[in-house]
A = this chain, B = another copy of it.
Amino acid sequence: MKISASVIARLPRYYRFFSDLSENGVTRISSNELAEMMGLTASKIRQDLNCFGGFGHQGYGYNPVQLCEQLRDILALPSKRKAILIGAGNLGRAVTNQIAFADNGFDLIGIFDSDPMFKGMKIKDIPIMSDDVIPKFCIDNNPEMAVLCLTESKAPEMVDLLYSLGIRGFWNFSHFDIKRKYPDAIVENVHLSDSVMLLSYKMIKKKDEET
């Protein structure tokens, strides 16, 4: 069965809610209760979760513990594909905290930065290395994914290098459009500036409506 992109995009959100519920000892929840919590309709929730093979039990509802495990498998969270991170600045550090401590499908094995001030330092026990050693490191370790926490101007050249070294997955915080150059790359873009601009727009809109 082909699952729509919009359903897939909601999976991590389901996973978050089910994790919270099961951590809080909830062993049973109805689609109506879920709907209220998640701000979706109950029928949408049943539809979404059905895409992944009838998780619910008629008259019982959903078991968050079980769903959590199933979603973990679907999202491939227990798998530990090797990842590297480019850019050891504040954003790189924040993302390292994010990626190094949770099951999210990846194992961060190296951090790279062109700035010599980082030489010899570690973040969460992961060594920061110079950009120069990226080729050797990738040949030796075969990472599959790279997190890009570098400025847009440096991104094109870095992506060329990483792609040539076999990396196909990118968690991209730069604004460089990777898929345009490499259509077979698998990319998740995070555009923080887009998000804050949207907030600005919504706030001004609301003010206009009120006046």
From the candidates B13, B190, B194, name the one contacting A13 in the complex (CB within 8 A).
B194
Q: Cα distance A9–B199 when bound, in Å?
A: 10
Binds B, one of A24-32, A96-104, A155-163: A96-104
- Is the CB–CB distance between A194 and B76 below 8 Å? no
Given contacts A39-B180, A197-B12, is CB(A202)–CB(B188) below 8 Å? yes
- Is the CB–CB distance between A203 and B97 below 8 Å? no
- Is the CB–CB distance between A203 and B144 below 8 Å? yes
Minimum distance in angstroms from A48 CB to a CB of chain B: 14
Q: How many protomers of this protein does the assembly include? A: 2
Q: Cα distance A193–B196 when bound, in Å?
A: 18
| Residues of A in contact, count (CB < 8 Å) | 58
Provide the residues of chain B in CB contact with A206, threshold 8 Å: 168, 186
From the candidates B11, B98, B168, B193, name the one contacting A192 in the complex (CB within 8 A).
B98
Provide the residues of chain B in CB contact with A79, threshold 8 Å: 200, 204
Given contacts A12-B193, A192-B190, is CB(A203)–CB(B94) below 8 Å? no
Nearest 10 A/B pairs, CB to CB? A105-B200, A12-B194, A76-B204, A91-B94, A90-B93, A90-B94, A12-B197, A188-B199, A169-B203, A104-B196
Which A residues are within 8 Å of any B CB, using their own CB? Answer: 8-9, 11-13, 15-16, 37, 39, 74-77, 79, 81, 89-91, 93-99, 102, 104-106, 144-145, 168-171, 175, 177, 179-180, 186-188, 190-204, 206
**Could you list 22 A-B pairs, sorted by A, with CB under 8 Å?**
A8-B198, A8-B201, A9-B198, A12-B191, A13-B194, A15-B197, A16-B191, A74-B201, A76-B203, A76-B204, A79-B204, A89-B94, A89-B97, A90-B96, A93-B94, A98-B192, A105-B197, A105-B199, A105-B203, A171-B199, A186-B202, A190-B190
